[in-house]
Amino acid sequence: MRTKTLAHRFFSAALLVALAGAPAHAADTEPTPHQSEAIAMAFDLSAAFEHAAETIEPSVVHIITSARNRRGFQQQTGVGSGVIVDDRGYILTNNHVVESGQTLTVRLADNREVPAELVGTFPESDLAVLKIDAEDITAARFADSEAVKVGQWVLAVGSPFGFQQTVTAGIVSAKGRGSFDPQSASGEPRVGAFQEYIQTDAAINPGNSGGPLVDLHGRVVGINTAIASSSGGNNGLGFTIPADIAQAVMHSIIETGQVNRGWLGVEMQRLDPVEAHALDIEGGVIIAEARDDGPAQRAGLEKGDIIVSLGGRTTENIVRLANAIMLAKPGTPVEIEYIRGTEHRSTRAVVADRDEQRLIALNAIRIDDLGLSIRADDIVLTTARRRQSTVPGFVVVDVKRGSAADDAGFRVGDFIYEVDDRTFEDPEALADYLTANPAQSRTRVQLFRGNARGYIDLTE
């Protein structure tokens, strides 16, 4: 089996170039000054790779997920990689690495295996945070992913195919890549929520997901998430979540258990490159519509304005602006630079909470104690005699992962029609009942799921 890494292959290629033209019959022939310089440069690059790999190695972990099968036996469901990002034991990885596991185990660089707790996830950016209780661990350092340059050397580190600590090398091929379908051979863009990638040609093998992409100082540039390949192997395009996005998501999850996303209240439109050139800017996003009394409108922004930066983050395209808004903490002011006509202007807007705005738009409320969001609705039932009747109730519009509602088995789309054989006129009345009865040993929620009628018991 070939286990030679890309770093070694690059080194070998450099030697071949340096020694080209040397007489085959004279193995001890001294290289020319030019060849000596090329060999020295190759050794310098190799040494830089070694330094980066040695620096990040103690922080990279192997993640094993498992769940009980129908017979009650624990069965491995997946593997992946992660990186220790805090001395308190917090680990950053991909959501898709851990989403299928009921039990999480982390294997450290020194081969210790410790159980891990899922702190929180943010599927929209394919990120998750775990926590372990272990001593003598080393947290990785982060690089400024905004300062990363196309063409810069990077290393992808992880545990592909279950092997411990494999390193591959490559360069940053592109920045600011938009959403794509990881299952697509072509990697064509798709509509996604908060996806923005650094593209690299460093091999990201199966099992490398969740591991770090690092610079030559061994600092984390991003979290490896996927490879778009026509063959299913590593000969494709590697995609990495930038470190600045990963850190913002991580801090929010550690502090609150969830990601509180910003909302500006604008509809966005792509800026034509010709117009951008005429304005002498690299790019921007046109405000197609500013919501009435939304944060943007209150800050003085209007339809037709071109946003070029938000919160110190340049917004060359819609993906960049969407992420800049998402990274802004709700309730805090952010600096916005924009163009109106040909005039460069700036303003400050206080972003709102995106999830709260979504609930308002749905006319829904959140029951924080349960991690459940509901809105009033009706369901039409057809009896055995084909008579129809309308039943009032409440539709579940959101279930927070890891919450009491999630643990109990609620799903988005469930229709609640009774609780403890009682009906309720509005969502607020139901929320008050559920939160005012914490001492009850059991609360029975009766619901429809599709065409099936059932119930869920909420217990302490």
209 as an active site residue: the answer is: yes
Question: Rounded distance, CA 326 to CA 263, Å?
Answer: 7
Range(s) of the domain holding residue 169 = 1-21+32-259
What integer pLDDT is reported at residue 427 of this predicted model?
87
Residues 244 and 276 in one domain: no
The residue annotated as part of the active site, out of 46, 59, 126, 403, is 126
CATH code for the domain of 44: 2.40.10.120
Residues 145 and 278 in one domain: no
| Phi/psi of residue 445, nearest 5 degrees | -105, 120
Give the least confident one: 18-22, 308-312, 361-365. 18-22
153: pLDDT confidence band, cut at 50, 70 and 90?
very high
Question: Rounded distance, CA 291 to CA 312, Å?
Answer: 23
Residues 123 and 14 in one domain: yes
396: pLDDT confidence band, cut at 50, 70 and 90?
very high
Residues 225 and 145 in one domain: yes
Average model confidence (pLDDT) across the chain: 82
The residue annotated as part of the active site, out of 209, 252, 309, 403, is 209
Q: Which two tokens stand for residue 388?
A: 């129809």
Residues 156 and 87 in one domain: yes
Residues 97 and 217 in one domain: yes
What integer pLDDT is reported at residue 187 of this predicted model?
35
What is the reported pTM?
0.72
- Residue 55 within any structural domain of the chain: yes
CATH code for the domain of 312: 2.30.42.10
Q: Is the pLDDT of residue 169 over 60?
A: yes
Polymer length of the chain: 460
Task: Please identify, among 237, 259, 281, the residue that sits at the C-terminal boundary of a domain.
Answer: 259
Instruction: Pick the more confident residue, 103 or 153.
Output: 153
- Residue 26 within any structural domain of the chain: no
Q: Is the pLDDT of residue 343 over 90?
A: yes
3-state DSSP of 33-90? HHHHHHHHHHHHHHHHHHHHHHHHHHHEEEEEEEEECCCCCEEEEEEEEEEECCCCCE
Residues 284 and 314 in one domain: yes
Question: Rounded distance, CA 315 to CA 264, Å?
Answer: 14
Count Cβ atoms within 10 A of the Cβ of residue 261 and give its class: 0-12 exposed, 13-18 middle, 19 or more buried.
buried
Q: Give me the amino acid identity at 231.
A: S
Task: Dump pLDDT digits (tens) for 226-254.
Answer: 766 555 555 567 889 999 999 999 999 99
Largest distance between two CA atoms of the chain: 98
Give the least confident one: 79-83, 144-148, 164-168. 164-168
- Percent above pLDDT 70 for the chain: 82
Q: Is the pLDDT of residue 9 over 80?
A: no
Coil/strand/helix, residue 129: strand
Residues 205 and 292 in one domain: no
**Which run of H or E residues covers position 277?**
helix 273-278
Residues 135 and 252 in one domain: yes
Residues 328 and 449 in one domain: no
Count Cβ atoms within 10 A of the Cβ of residue 341 and give its class: 0-12 exposed, 13-18 middle, 19 or more buried.
exposed
Q: Which two tokens stand for residue 309?
A: 């930066």
Task: Dump pLDDT digits (tens) for 74-103.
Answer: 666 678 899 999 999 999 999 988 887 778
Mean per-residue pLDDT for 402-409? Answer: 84
96 as an active site residue: the answer is: yes
Question: Rounded distance, CA 177 to CA 317, Å?
Answer: 10
Residues 277 and 246 in one domain: no
The residue annotated as part of the active site, out of 59, 96, 125, 305, is 96
